[in-house]
Amino acid sequence: MTDRESKIAVVTGAGSGIGRAVAVELLRAGWSVALAGRRTETLEETAGLVPRGAGLTVRTDVSRPEDVDALFAATVDRFGRVDLLFNNAGTFGPGGIPVEELSYDAWRHVVDTNLNGAFLCAQAAYRRMKEQDPQGGRIINNGSISAHTPRPLSVAYTATKHALTGLTKSLSLDGRPYNIAVGQIDIGNAATDMTARMQAGALQANGRVAPEPVMDVADVARTVRHMAELPLGANVQFATVLATAMPYIGRG
């Protein structure tokens, strides 16, 4: 932590899954956290998991510039600054659809959420971090194992996650003069509602369906907290956290 008593974080997609776990981990560690997501009720459930935590819930559709602007304005109005953005909101989109059958609307929805939303939030955070005193802050983008290796029939999700890696690198480079550190965490099969189906069976590259192991989402949250609490002179550029036995390294 810095010499201030509490650091300020914005966590998108905070109403469930990885976003919820990270928000709770930060709140329990004494951070003040703006929780952003599409559903107010789930955001309030997240905040309620740490009754004495300093949480602010802001309903946000990250694909809408006006929502993102309102999120960061509310955060600064309440807490005074932004020290961390965990750029986590995302969607897998419709699964199991061949590329030739994927509708443009479905493609656009995934791109708007995963890539455009991440850009809009990073841009808003960057502006605050550049202007505030003391200057600087940290952005952590939630990539995915799919930022490196695709699953079958996941063209929209995979394309956005590969693009997110480019966004991370570019932001990291451009943030150097302003003490803005940018990194990425790539996660494989954290146990959330989104990955529940993988334990029953997920399509593999060889065409077979096989169950995949998952890991405790709390292990991801602790990793994000470690990245977040480094001094700004140090940065985890890329971290990969995955269930040890999942089919990723080698041939499975």
For residue range 12-24, list pLDDT tens digits in order.
999 999 999 999 9
Checking phi first, is residue 96 left (phi over 0); if not, alpha (psi -120 to 50) or beta?
Answer: left
Instruction: Name the fold adopted by 8-242.
Output: Rossmann fold (3.40.50)
Q: Which of 104, 157, 178, 248 is catalytic?
A: 157
pLDDT digits (tens, 9 = 90+) for 186-215: 998 887 766 667 767 777 777 788 777 889
pLDDT of 138 higher than 60:
yes
Q: Which residues of 120-156 are buried (b: 16+ CB within 10 A; e: fewer)?
A: bbbebbbebbeebeeebbbbbbbbbbbbbebbebbbb
**Does 104 qualify as catalytic in the annotation?**
no
Q: Nearest 5°: phi and psi at 163? A: -65, -35
Give residue 193's pLDDT.
67
What is the residue-averaged pLDDT of the chain?
93
- At 33 the three-state DSSP class reads strand
Average pLDDT of the residues in 127-133: 98
pLDDT digits (tens, 9 = 90+) for 146-198: 899 888 889 999 999 999 999 999 999 999 999 999 999 999 888 776 666 77
- Residue ranges of the domains in the chain? 8-242
Q: How far apart are CA 7 and CA 109, in angstroms?
A: 33
Give residue 195's pLDDT.
64
Nearest to 146 by CA among 93, 83, 188: 188
Give residue 210's pLDDT.
79
As given in the structure block, the two tokens for residue 141 are 């983008």
Model-level pTM greater than 0.85?
Answer: yes
CB 182 within 8 A of CB 141: yes
Stronger pLDDT, 193 or 71, i.e. the higher one? 71
Average pLDDT of the residues in 58-77: 98
Q: How far apart are CA 57 and CA 75, in angstroms?
A: 9
Average pLDDT of the residues in 30-50: 98
Which residue's entry shows tokens 């919820």?
Answer: 20
Give residue 1's pLDDT.
39
Give residue 2's pLDDT.
38
